[in-house]
Structure 1
Amino acid sequence: MYYIVETDKSFDQASADLESAVKHHGFGVLHVHDLGATLRSKGIVFDKECKIFEVCNPGQAAKVLSTDMRLNMALPCRISVFTEKGKTMIGLIKPVQMLSALSEDAALVEVAKEVEEKTIQMVDEAK
């Protein structure tokens, strides 16, 4: 269900490289949630780093939404850069498995396959 890779890059470098890879593959970064900073700003002791990139390809999103508007709750795709046990990781929840759990529409599964292929390429490129 997950696709997670370890990188030798720093957290900041992996984050910057992921943002570049997203754009290189024709997607946009809608927002970046700096979860680590947010938790620390609320007074929570949290020594890990975690940025969640909300990424979207408008054409693919429109295909999904025009088929089943309820799936808006599963959009946009998210790719995370995070630290775990001193290592920098980049990962995502695979769109095919997630969408298959929410819909049995074969056309949507095809869209999810295309998106999954691209998002895995982004992660591998940022690695």
Structure 2
Amino acid sequence: MYHVVESSKSFQEILFELEPAVQRLGLTVLAVHDVGAALARRDNGFDEDYAIYDIVGWRQAEEMLRDDLRAGLFLPWRLAVYTENGVTRLGFLRQPPVADPSLQRALDEGAARLLQLVDEMR
């Protein structure tokens, strides 16, 4: 399920403020992918800003991987920051429920942190 919100901030403001906010929440940015610039270089008419952040909570990642290394397929958490017709949006994909209670707990905690982050960036 998508969780996407509008922000009153510009795309550049979000990029400037996002990493410190991630760190305040005890998370780490592993990578930032400037998808908008990459698509624009392809000369295909794509003219929106679009960045994807790979984010991890080390405690949650350790908990997830301790029991089952396949849980790494849920990592890293991805947050998209983009513009759409001049409006800045932030969003992420909520993971579907899983049968393993400890994995579900870690996924829920990650989703809660991403929700907090998105709300802070509005």
TM-score bucket of the superposed structures, by smaller chain: over 0.9
Gaps of 5+ in 2: none
Trace 1:1-127 onto structure 2 (pairs within 5 A). 1-94=1-94, 98-100=95-97, 103-127=98-122
**Which amino acid letter does the alignment assign opposite residue 59 of structure 1?**
R
Range with bigger deviation, 108-117 or 27-36? 108-117
Alignment size in residue pairs: 122
Deviation at 1:43, TM superposition (A): 2.7
**Which amino acid letter does the alignment assign opposite residue 18 of structure 2?**
L
Summarize deviations over 1:3-31 as a string: whole Å, max 9, x none: 11101111110122222211110101100
What is the rounded CA distance, in whole Å, between the counterparts of 1:110 and 1:73 in structure 2?
Answer: 16
Deviation at 1:60, TM superposition (A): 0.7
The TM-score, its normalising length taken from structure 2, stands at: 0.92
When the two chains are superposed, the root-mean-square deviation of aligned CA atoms in Å is 1.3
Summarize deviations over 1:44-90 as a string: whole Å, max 9, x none: 22111110010111111111112221222221001111111220001
Whether contact under 8 Å (2:31, 2:54) holds in the other structure is: yes
Gaps of 5+ in 1: none
